[in-house]
Structure 1
């Protein structure tokens, strides 16, 4: 089985689909990058759900594959590993991770690439690389610290401990916890109600630079939207029907 992209009702579901635990081997990483780039450019995809299935989101890297790699091999591979995850971050549309079961190591790092994370009550998240004599290598040291703060990130990374869904919610590692059998439906519903737009790029670009540059990015997007049909439809609907009634194409 291979990761695949399924599109319905404007939502692209990026299914990892590598039984039994969605270990992220090199082939899966490369396919992940291809599918993220496809989702980014497809006009029929307005939002994306990253989903590992009912059993596990992704239990981490393929350790047996890594065992066969020496220093030289990993030096040659590490950039492609990070690029695969960054391709998910760079999808210019809302992305939600739907996590059931294990989301560990590379699986946790993949969840960090989403804009919003919905976890099942059975979810376990963490960065256990230290237990292998390693550190996170697919963005964990950078994205986790930016999401939950450096001290909380260091606790998880230094100890390698796993956290259950309720603690992940308290830490800010996930945004919502629901029964495990409702995770995908909740994620799809969250994604389906969102329209593609420039807000994500304005936020993400601003976070990567100083506030003055961020405000300039926001200003350019804000004024540019006054030339669009969406702006006309949204304001007309507000005036004529009240807030929250507009329907965008």
Structure 2
């Protein structure tokens, strides 16, 4: 089986991917560049056992990361505990395999390129991928699979953190979908939730409308990331929700590398 590792700014996601591309198990841990290969190994060993797997079941490792400092320890994890050299998405012998049609292709984040690869493999035509992570990103992929650019906005948790840190009397609230569509809050907490949640819905819908107008052709919108389902019930702009898009991109890259493509 393949161990796919998506190292993001907030969490590192480990997923076991079967030969047919299905995800057999997934785990996440807070991103900490100081975490050693040994610490990862102890944690993973226990989780593998709980799911009925052993280290020997892992025959390959591929890593995608937007945190360069985390890469070394993940590579050591692969070599020391899984007895394999990890492939690193977008580096060395593992090129993206898609055209990055932007002014600074070297600065495109691994997660965004991987999302583009997986989205194009699963959907036809022009695409917009909205990834709800530490940042909320909009990525435009054209009908032939080229990455055309996008938008970066603060993630919803980041926005809430900034608000609470800057306003002494505002409490920390949980981000959740409101029970009803009322926008005018009657308590401080409900007003904060309204501003954060409905403000985000308005941003998503407004930016997506502008993106579609610029593209000028029918567009399929795909939502991914841990918070994607949070907005599903109160907006109709998503054509598909695929929480594992980045992992699927890693699995596709590994498959193509194995096939020499």
- Which has a greater percent of helix? 1
Tell me the TM-score normalized by structure 1. 0.27
- Which has a greater percent of strand? 2
